[in-house]
Structure 1
Amino acid sequence: MDMAARPYRSVLYIPASKDRALEKARTLPVDAIIFDLEDAVAPAEKPGARDTLAAALASSYGNRTRIVRINGLDTEWGEADAKAAAAMDCDAILLPKVETAAQLDALAALAPGKPLWAMMETPKGMLAAAEIAAHPALKGFVMGTNDLAKELNSRFRADRLPMLSGLGLCLLAAKAHGVIIVDGVYNAFKDEDGLKAECEQGRDMGMDGKTLIHPAQIDIANTAFAPSDAEIDLAQRQIAAYEETVAQGGGVAVVDGKIVENLHVETARKTLAKAEAIAALAE
């Protein structure tokens, strides 16, 4: 399956140094995994984590997209991480705290040919989102809302008002350049209602999925970012009605009292394609 066409409803962080977590991840119904060499690994364990992760990735993770988050290239571990990840059987390398396209150039030089993803988690990163999204090797954005909140000195709000400017800038850049964008984590992993609300907000905004910190969050994210039965039914009826109208020489159909034009049909086809891609992952 083409990387851009894959679903990214649920994107789970897994510590790259933990054998048990790496093994369990093979059984979880996630669309993608971020194997973390950065925040989830203590400094003393970082060199060994590279070997542990390389060995784990040598065995199959099924249809799950495998993304390796390295340490920043301005750290003592970053360059070695990048070179190690370049040799791993992974789908992409994720660089933290990206603020310029030049940072991606540096990573691309260390890992030629590997698709790159960028953590968007600082004000400078948000303001440079269009430049970063336009990088030829860049395939995905991951929103780092915890770090962004720290940088902004913002307070937690259920409506995420302090985040909306940054999220919006990154969404615009991602959509303008055909880049995947997944929302930040929800820290209270036992708060299902809060997670559900934040997933719905992200989906309403146009996010492709949600990064997760605990397996208990997977089902809620998978449901929120998948087309619902009602959306699939509506998409099918919109396409059928529009095609019938066009066959009769018209250009605008009506479904459920609302007009259906070509742009609505394009959205409907994307909805059905996403549902099909999700079904294919489960095979």
Structure 2
Amino acid sequence: MGEQAAYTPRRSVLYMPSSNERALEKAKTLPVDGLILDLEDAVGPDHKESARENACAAAASGEYGQREVTIRINGIGTQWHDADLAAAAAAGPAGVVVPKVGSADEVRSLVAALEAAGAPEHTKLWAMIETPEAIFNVREIASASPRLAVLVMGTNDLVKELRADHVPGRGPLLTSLQLSLLAAREAGIAILDGVYNDVKNAEGFEAECVQGRDFGFDGKTLIHPGQVEPCNAIFAPSEEAVADARGILEAWEAGAGSGVVTHNGRMVENLHVDIARRVLAVHEVISTR
């Protein structure tokens, strides 16, 4: 299966605790591509219902501009899951984010539940990949339903489940990250990298963003507003990349029918043209933000 039909910017996708009304209000001013209004980890048991009301009101408000607004509900089997899913479906956000999705059957059950609850067509499923079971099943998960639009790496839970450590370079997670990327690209859906926990370590955060971009992630999930702008910059095509892409297309068009085409001393083939066109398409969309 191929690329997504159109590029949707998801360079920076910020978790926001839905129990915090001031945070939800602040989110309207942040230069973030997407928001995950959280009902799960960031919300204590006593605040689940009020957080659900806040998130659904925010998602339905239309007050977040171009930002893609999603709601992370509580996981399958929890006491809040069914009510969360029904309320989120009624609110009609861009996506419903579900933690710890482990199988294709769970994807299909979630999609059926969303449809039964009346979710509009634009409300997609975002599946979090954060367990060994999910990694072994990720190829089937990614292709289980046309309504599944995004895989979200839950790297904190993966580290816990693997009994690994958070280390620079993320060696313990590389297999999981790369298998998930392969699955997303085969299915033609988006995939977001996991969070970086040390919000005071700007250098470490930027290094992990660069790693995620180089791997091929569409963007990164974030836990602090201060992470948004560096993340946006790293996951956007650089000025040099844009100029190079334009040069490749100009050389290709000028050399049509001539056999060998070169740009800056490098041979240009169809695959380079496809990459250049994607770079420019991404740049064009981001430039309107």
Range of TM-score over shorter length: over 0.9
- 1:193 and 2:200 matched: no
- 1:263 and 2:271 matched: yes
Name the residue aligned to 1:107.
Answer: 110
1:193 positional shift: 0.5
Name the residue aligned to 1:8.
Answer: 10
1:119 to 128, 152, 162: 128
Segment of structure 1 superposing worse, 127-136 or 103-112: 103-112
Name the residue aligned to 2:260.
Answer: 252
Count of aligned pairs: 278
Q: Which ranges of structure 2 fall in alignment gaps of 5 or more residues?
A: 116-120
Q: Deviations over 1:154-203 (max 9, x none)?
A: 12220111100000000000000111101000001111110110000000
1:3 positional shift: 8.8
- 1:219 and 2:229 matched: yes
For residues 12 and 4 of structure 1, do their structure 2 counterparts lie closer, same or farther at Cα, with a shift above 3 Å needed? farther
For residues 61 and 130 of structure 1, do their structure 2 counterparts lie closer, same or farther at Cα, with a shift above 3 Å needed? same
1:73 positional shift: 1.9
Name the residue aligned to 1:79.
Answer: 82
Name the residue aligned to 1:93.
Answer: 96
Could you tell me whether the CA contact under 8 Å between 2:152 and 2:192 is conserved in 1? yes
Taking only aligned residues, the RMSD between alpha carbons, in angstroms, comes to 1.3
Alignment partner of 1:250: what SS?
A: coil
1:58 positional shift: 3.0
Q: Distance in 2 between matches of 1:78 and 1:135?
A: 21
1:56 positional shift: 2.0
Alignment partner of 2:280: what SS?
A: helix
- 1:147 and 2:149 matched: no
TM-score by length of 2: 0.94
Q: Distance in 2 between matches of 1:94 and 1:197?
A: 26
Name the residue aligned to 1:157.
Answer: 167
Q: Which ranges of structure 1 fall in alignment gaps of 5 or more residues?
A: none
Q: Distance in 1 between matches of 2:258 and 2:90?
A: 55
Could you tell me whether the CA contact under 8 Å between 1:242 and 1:251 is conserved in 2? no
Name the residue aligned to 1:43.
Answer: 45
- 1:273 and 2:275 matched: no
Segment of structure 1 superposing worse, 57-66 or 227-236: 57-66
Letter in 1 for 2:258: G
TM-score by length of 1: 0.95
